[in-house]
Chain A
Amino acid sequence: VDGREISAFAGESVAAALLGAGIRALRETGREHEPRGLFCGMGVCFDCLVSVDGLPNLRACMTPVAEGMRVETRRS
């Protein structure tokens, strides 16, 4: 995550893995640069968007973690 290594349980969502590592702010908004985190938790609100292995705007709540996955927060 953002260059830092975190551990996660197999099968966990990216959102849960990051939460477990104490990372609650998952992105920064485009207009006012405010932090956002997990909100609806079920794929509806699109507020937990992160990039995964270079693919932008994936829902952290709907994306399962994988070994060696590179997750970037912040940039929207």
Chain B
Amino acid sequence: VKQESFDLVVVGAGPAGISAAVEASRWGVSVALVDENPAPGGNIYRQPPKEFAPLAPSAGERGAALRRALDASPVRRFPETTVWGAFRPDVLEAVRGGDSFALEGRFVIVAAGAYDRPVPVPGWTLPGVLTVGGAQTLLKGQRMLPGRRILFAGTGPLLLVVAAQYAEAGAEIVAVADAARIGSLAGHVPGLLSAPALLRDGMRYRWRLLRRRVPWLSQSVLLRVEGRGEVESASIVQIDDSGQRRTGTERRFEVDTVCVGYGLVPSVELLQLLGCALRYDEAAACWIPRRNDDFETSVPSVFAVGDGAGVAGAVVAADEGRVAGLAVARALGRIGPPEAQRLQRPLRRRLRRLARFRAAMEAAYGLPQHLLDGVTADTIVCRCEEVRRREIDEAIGDGALTPAQLKAWTRVGMGPCQGRMCSLPVAELLSRSTERPIAELGPPSVRPPVKPVPIGALTDTD
């Protein structure tokens, strides 16, 4: 298998990965930047393919500035490339098309990004149900809407942003069901004022929806989706302040599409494979890597930055990337410690301020309790292996005590997504049944390949 060596390998070309790569290369560090997509930018700065150029407006100033900086840098790019494994923390196994190769890096920065938190409900596997992130990707990257009559359900800033973008693009939105209380932001004004520009952006999106008279239903969650072969209707139900469903408040909508998004969770699978220690973040209800002040993980010379290390948005991601990029340049002796510190200081200051904003957002848009009450015995929890809740409950009844046992007994998390779509709900079901906190149950087990690769790519002998 071919192998190329660099001072630094960065995985993920979103704002965190680009910033880390560009900053390190500025100090003479040789950098490889790997990403699954054809173009850099990640999901946040996703743009239509270049063939769409005549009708495509730009993805905004921040994304364009990052791309310009990357274009002007000597960073070696590996687009459409998937990192699927690592048998040593300094050698990443990659595949592009049918071509397999290894990337060696004295340092590795993982900026793998985040994806929508999976929340199973009956019917969530029907064609026509999309994650909010996926819906945004389709609109931003392909200039396309997934259907005609759409229900949005979930909570958090991305739900608001995507619903507003869809309304502007001409989608018929029957309603936005938001799990949060109306005015939930009001109790957290001091924290939110630490990032006034972001708060203003949020208000602007809310105003766009109001102006288009899109019904906003607060304290409502998705109950089920129905249809033969594809989505035909979807029902929501109101919840009270403690998150319990209020009986008799069900509402059904005739729709062909449901966009669902209860916030984002970090993609930590590659970090796990590299041996990085994780901890369970109770406030964000997900696993995140342990990191020091330079965003280095428990594995020396492996760093984790951006939403993939804790969801905090593009501005935080870019600053974290630069801090880590400077740390790598310093460790390689390309920049003196005092100079590195001088450059890192203003970034750290801004990150501390944005952390206050994030804490306020998390408090305002906290994940509602009892969200999994909608998972009936018949609901598919593991989409890949088609494992229903009943089978998981039976395995727990038979004595399964850990996520690994559940996986071995029921096949949950064994499919091609490697548990990304089910490990969190499975952990919560297990935690509730066994009355042990998720932190104590431990993170889901991960082994290579973290993303499936065609066998032919690995057995190629040329």
Contacts and interface: CB of A to CB of B under 8 A. Distances in A.
B256 to A, nearest CB: 9
A44 B138 contact: no
Contact of A39 (B130, B144, B386): B130
A72 interface: no
B125 interface: yes
Contacts of A13: 141-142
Nearest to A37: B127
A10 interface: yes
Interface of B: 36-38, 43, 48-52, 115-116, 125-131, 133-135, 137-138, 141-142, 144, 146, 229-230, 267, 383-386, 415-417, 420-421, 452, 454
A46 B417 contact: yes
Given A39-B130, A43-B36, A49 B416 contact: yes
A19 B52 CA distance: 17
A38 B146 contact: yes
B127 A26 contact: yes
B312 to A, nearest CB: 18
A39 to B, nearest CB: 6
Across the A-B interface, the 10 shortest Cβ-Cβ residue pairs = A41-B134, A11-B49, A37-B127, A11-B51, A46-B416, A10-B51, A16-B142, A24-B127, A41-B137, A31-B386
A47 B417 CA distance: 8
A24 to B, nearest CB: 4
Interface of A: 9-13, 15-16, 19-20, 24-26, 29-32, 34-47, 49, 55, 57, 61-62, 64
Contacts of A35: 126-127, 229-230
B127 A40 contact: no
Given A37-B230, A45-B417, A49-B416, A24 B128 contact: yes
A43 B83 CA distance: 13
B350 to A, nearest CB: 28
Nearest to A62: B36
Contacts of A12: 49, 142
Nearest to B415: A46
B133 A40 contact: yes
Contacts of A25: 127, 229-230
Contact of B452 (A26, A45, A57, A61): A57
Contacts of A41: 130-131, 133-135, 137-138
Contacts of B116: 40
Contacts of A15: 138
A9 B54 CA distance: 13
Contacts of B384: 46-47
Interface of B: prevailing SS: loop
A29 B134 contact: no
B420 A44 contact: yes
B51 to A, nearest CB: 3
B131 A11 contact: no
5 contacts: A36-B383, A37-B126, A39-B383, A45-B421, A46-B417
Contacts of B43: 42
Given A40-B116, A46-B452, A16 B38 contact: no
A30 to B, nearest CB: 8
Residue in A24, A29, A44, A57 whose Cβ sees the most chain B Cβ within 10 Å: A44
A45 B128 contact: no
Contacts of A61: 134, 137
A20 to B, nearest CB: 7
A55 B134 contact: no
A33 to B, nearest CB: 10
A38 B421 CA distance: 14
Residue in B43, B137, B267 whose Cβ sees the most chain A Cβ within 10 Å: B137
A64 to B, nearest CB: 7
Contacts of B417: 44-47
Nearest to B131: A40
A34 B125 contact: yes
B98 to A, nearest CB: 8
A34 B415 CA distance: 16
B383 A37 contact: no
Contacts of B36: 43, 62
Given A25-B127, A45-B383, A57-B452, A39 B134 contact: yes
Contacts of A38: 127, 130, 134, 138, 146
A61 B50 CA distance: 17
Nearest to A32: B386
B49 A40 contact: no
Contacts of A39: 125, 129-131, 134, 383
A34 to B, nearest CB: 7
